Amino acid sequence: MLIDSHAHLDLDDFKDDRNHVVKRAIKGGLTHIISVGIDAASSVNALDLAREYGPVFASVGYHPHNADRCDRSDLDDLAMMVSDPKIVAWGEIGLDFYRGYSAVENQTDVFRHQLHLAHDLKLPVIIHDREAHDQAYEILRKMGKRERNGVIHCFSGDIDLAAAFIELGFFISIPGTVTYKNASQVREVASSIPIDRMLIETDAPFLTPVPKRGKRNEPLYVTFTAMEIARLRSMEFEDVALKTSENAKLLFGLP
């Protein structure tokens, strides 16, 4: 029993074998996959995939990379989609000061507006935070604490930052980078945070875990992430799988 809490099944990386990718995941023990939107078209495609495949659910949102080309009408259109029961979150949203594909001002404005939309719609948020820890935390802190605020996807901060986000009501999602020997910070977080605030993810097709590193990532490979977390925490694999799945079901309201 595993849940991949964050994948991008709509991307062209899966265009030739998407059906096989989903079937492999189900055969390998996954019960749910969240396919995450990053702009208007991606969000529509994620919902289409969720309607096609029973174990797949979707989120809608504008990634910070795409903030420069996002306007309020785009967000209003996404808001119209969330009545579909297959939409379980708003995201991927946030700040990315590493790539700088969109202006900081636009990223911040689009991020804040989407947070307010998600709050009004009573949806948890999926947060992207890269090289913008202080700014992202301050914006989220001002939104206030909620039990199901959302998840910090592909967490890349330290243990103190993880604790601060958890205090706001967020889950911390651990990706395949936890299997990398030089990724000491995420390994410390994965071994230290409360297990009842942890999700696991692939971010497929990116961040492929060892021993598949160098190949395209896919939801089935969340298994390797769970195995490494179990090793780091001296837990049984089945217990990590069960608890992180329970957390994902709680956050996203999954059946």
pLDDT digits (tens, 9 = 90+) for 86-131: 999 999 999 999 988 999 999 999 999 999 999 999 999 999 999 9
CATH of the domain at 141: 3.20.20.140
pLDDT digits (tens, 9 = 90+) for 169-188: 999 999 999 999 999 999 99
- Amino acid making up residue 135: Q
Kindly report the number of other CB atoms within 10 A of residue 244's CB atom: 27
* 147: confidence class by pLDDT, cuts 50, 70, 90: confident
Whole-Å CA distances, 22 to 66, 182, 254: 27, 30, 18
**Phi–psi pair at 115, nearest 5 degrees:** -60, -45
**CA-based nearest residue to 199, from 177, 232, 175:** 175
Average pLDDT, rounded, for the chain: 97
Q: What's the confidence (pLDDT) of residue 11? A: 98
Query: What pLDDT digit, counting tens, does each position of 181-212 carry?
Result: 999 999 999 999 999 999 999 999 999 999 99
pLDDT surpasses 90 at 236: yes
Under the banding of pLDDT at 50, 70 and 90, the label for residue 148 is confident
Residue 9: per-residue pLDDT: 98
* CB count in 10 Å sphere of residue 115: 21
Give the pLDDT band of residue 146 (cuts 50, 70, 90): confident
CA 6 to chain centre: 4
* Number of domains forming the structure of the chain: 1
Alpha-carbon gap, residue 34 to 55, rounded angstroms = 9
Using CA atoms, how far residue 2 sits from 65, 125, 144, 174, 242, in Å, is 29, 21, 30, 13, 7
**Could you report the per-residue pLDDT of 37-53, keeping only the tens digit for each?**
999 999 999 999 999 99
Question: Domain residues for 239?
Answer: 2-252
